[in-house]
Amino acid sequence: MKSLDEYLREAEQAHGHLCAGQVLGVRMAMVGLERLGIEDPRGTDRKRLVTFIEIDRCATDAVMVVTGCRLGKRALKFRDWGKMAATFVDVSSGRAVRVAAKESSKSLAREMHPEIPEKNRQQMLAYREMKEDDLFDVQWVTVNLPEEEFPGFKGKRIVCSACGEGINFRREVLRAGKVLCRACAGESYYIPLKERSTSGE
């Protein structure tokens, strides 16, 4: 593993700026990796790790930098819970650890650096210095990871009987004997403005 400063430099580059969220995210991921004994997550250990992230904010980018887990490798799982927390799963051993930022860390940052009025700068410095115990709750957990959730899983491609679009990796839904995509099964996040056309208009 690299040092906090090295990871912060990389995170700053990837994210576009350095902020309190980067510090939190980098430290969160380092704690997870350390507990799991994963030394080289982007090199020799790159197939060992799956990360569940519970927030889509600055810290998310930092967690991706340290772990190397990305959406495009199916090694990053997003749970939209609005919580500053992540769970790191060692798929080679099945061990998993959830690291959550303590709510009290914000007020502690104020106590540590009252001389810095600007919140982001205050937290950026305090989160660097804060003891792990003050910053995070760390908990061993079990994560049920079915085979289709593993980065390397390949299933057969199957077609939705309603919209005709192809579905990979067992994401289809079976309803009344019909194969449906999740949109047609009622989970859609979009509403088409007009009927599907093949002309592209």
Q: Is 55 in the site for Zn ion (CB under 5 A)?
A: no
For Zn ion, give the closer residue by CB, 57 or 95: 57
Tell the residue number behind the tokens 């930092």, with chain if given.
62
State which amino acid sits at residue 164.
G
Q: Is 23 in the site for Zn ion (CB under 5 A)?
A: no
For Zn ion, give the closer residue by CB, 17 or 73: 17
Task: Supply the minimum distance, in Å, between the C-beta of residue 28 and Zn ion.
Answer: 14
> 26 with 7: CB under 8 angstroms?
yes
For Zn ion, give the closer residue by CB, 29 or 184: 184
For Zn ion, give the closer residue by CB, 21 or 68: 21
Q: Is 181 in the site for Zn ion (CB under 5 A)?
A: yes
Q: Is 173 in the site for Zn ion (CB under 5 A)?
A: no
Q: Is 19 in the site for Zn ion (CB under 5 A)?
A: yes
Stretch that binds Zn ion, among 39-47, 52-60, 112-120, 146-154 (CB under 5 A): 52-60
- Pick one of 11, 21, 98, 143: the residue that binds Zn ion (CB under 5 A): 21
DSSP secondary structure, the chain, as one string: ---HHHHHHHHHHHHSS--HHHHHHHHHHHHHHHHHT-S-TTTTTTTTEEEEE---SHHHHHHHHHH---GGGT-EEE-----SEEEEEETTT--EEEEEE-THHHHHHHHH-TT--SHHHHHHHHHHHS-HHHHEEEEEE-----GGGSTT-----EE-TTT--EE-TT--EEETTEEE-TIIIII-S---SS---SS--
| Neighbouring C-beta atoms of residue 179, cutoff 10 Å | 16
For Zn ion, give the closer residue by CB, 26 or 97: 26
Task: Supply the minimum distance, in Å, between the C-beta of residue 45 and Zn ion.
Answer: 27
- Pick one of 6, 44, 163, 175: the residue that binds Zn ion (CB under 5 A): 163
Q: Is 162 in the site for Zn ion (CB under 5 A)?
A: yes
C-alpha to C-alpha distance for 166 and 185, rounded to whole angstroms? 14
- Pick one of 58, 64, 89, 126: the residue that binds Zn ion (CB under 5 A): 58
Which residues contact Zn ion (rule: CB under 5 A)?
19, 21, 58, 160, 162-163, 181, 184
